[in-house]
Amino acid sequence: MELRHLTTFRTVAQLQSFRRAAEALGYVQGNVTAHIQALEQELDVQLFDRLGRHITLTSAGEQLLAYAEKLLTIAAEAQSALAQREVIKGTLTVSAPDTLCIYRLPALFSNFQQRFPQVRLLFRPLSWNALQKAVSEGVIDVAFLMAQPVQSRGLIAETLLPESILLLAAPSHPLAQAAHIQPEDLETETLLLTEMGCSYRTVFEQQLAAEGCVPKMLLEFWSIEAIKQFAMLGMGIAVLPAVSVSAELAQSKLVILPWGRDFRIITQMAWHKDKWLSPAFQAFISTAREVLKEV
């Protein structure tokens, strides 16, 4: 089967007219008829029922249309890949939760744009809970997550780097001088946490629940900066990634409490297992591996 014949067939099927298909493709109507006849002779089937001026797909035509769509899509991808082999261009939609957006992705985006200025990056901030769904549904191309290892048959997830999650307090906090922090030490404290569903918050709460610890109060925030400000004022104990508090630790505005338990959190990137990896997509994944694994 020739691709141009399949293109003509798909156009006729979409427009339900030989004449309109000829106009859309820039052919004379006789060429459209010849292409359809060539397909019908090659496959030994009738592709259209011709009822006066109206045409409809036969059952064989409906079957072929599904395959034609796949074949023409693959052909277009191949053409695009070859056309872009010297100058990589295109558009990618990327998403990540707040922490990674602020503290990890700027370096990646800057590096990538310097190398591949003709690739357009679109960033869509999404909550942790929404990220996996958005990737699975094809709403975004690639997601970055700070979480436990993603387990999904529909996604490819690649580990980039481990992340340290810390318990933090103001230097003046009563627990700041403690040699060890036990769950019972937190029962009378106010905990400053990210939104419900955040992966490292979930792990921390599971650790507390396993030891029967029920803190006095939980304050939930959408902003990491807000959590840090509250903690620095001595208004509670924060649970945050180390990458988000490096400046505050260096300036002794916050101190690390010796929690001594492993959070097992990693930064990873994920995309749909059936996603076509265009040259731009491949370049972005390669750059992410290089930039983020060097952090």
pLDDT, tens only, 108-124:
999 999 999 999 998 88
Average of pLDDT values for 66-76?
87
Average of pLDDT values for 160-164?
90
Other beta carbons within 10 angstroms of residue 110's beta carbon come to: 11
For the chain, percent of residues with pLDDT exceeding 70:
96
24-36 pLDDT per residue, tens: 888 999 999 999 9
Cβ atoms 56, 48 nearer than 8 A: yes
Q: Superfamily for 165-262?
A: Periplasmic binding protein-like II (3.40.190.10)
pLDDT of 128 > 70? The answer is: no
Global pTM value: 0.64
Instruction: Give the integer Cα–Cα distance in Å for 289 and 160.
Output: 6
Helix (H) or strand (E) holding 266: strand 265-272
Q: Kindly indicate whether the domain formed by 3-83 is annotated with CATH number 3.40.309.10.
A: no
Specify the range with the lowest mean pLDDT, choosing from 43-57, 77-91, 184-198, 243-257. Answer: 77-91
Going by pLDDT thresholds of 50, 70 and 90, the confidence category of residue 130 is confident
| Residue 85 confidence (pLDDT) | 57
- Tokens representing residue 100 in the block: 């990674």
Nearest to 244 by CA among 259, 231, 261: 231
For the chain, percent of residues with pLDDT exceeding 90:
43
Which residues does residue 241 pair with via DSSP β-bridges, in sequence order?
165
Instruction: Give the integer Cα–Cα distance in Å for 157 and 124.
Output: 19
| Residue 231 confidence (pLDDT) | 95
Where do you find CATH 1.10.10.10 in the chain?
3-83
CA dihedral sign, ordered 146, 144, 139, 72 = negative
Where do you find CATH 3.40.190.10 in the chain?
90-161+266-293, 165-262
41 versus 216: the higher-pLDDT residue is: 41
- Rounded to the nearest integer, the mean pLDDT of the chain is 88
Instruction: Give the integer Cα–Cα distance in Å for 209 and 201.
Output: 12
pLDDT of 52 > 80? The answer is: no
Residues ≥6 apart with Cβ < 8 Å to 105:
94, 96, 123, 144
| Residue 89 confidence (pLDDT) | 84
For residue 19, report the phi and psi dihedrals to the nearest 5 degrees: -65, -50
Residues ≥6 apart with Cβ < 8 Å to 262:
none
Q: What is the Rg, in whole angstroms, of the alpha carbon atoms belonging to the chain? A: 28
Cβ atoms 124, 94 nearer than 8 A: yes
| Residue 246 confidence (pLDDT) | 92
Helical spans, DSSP H, in the chain: 3-15, 18-25, 29-43, 59-83, 98-103, 105-115, 128-136, 199-210, 224-232, 246-250, 279-293
Instruction: Give the integer Cα–Cα distance in Å for 280 and 282.
Output: 5
Average of pLDDT values for 163-189?
91
Q: Which fold has domain 90-161+266-293?
A: D-Maltodextrin-Binding Protein; domain 2 (3.40.190)
| Residue 139 confidence (pLDDT) | 79
Going by pLDDT thresholds of 50, 70 and 90, the confidence category of residue 216 is confident
| Residue 230 confidence (pLDDT) | 95
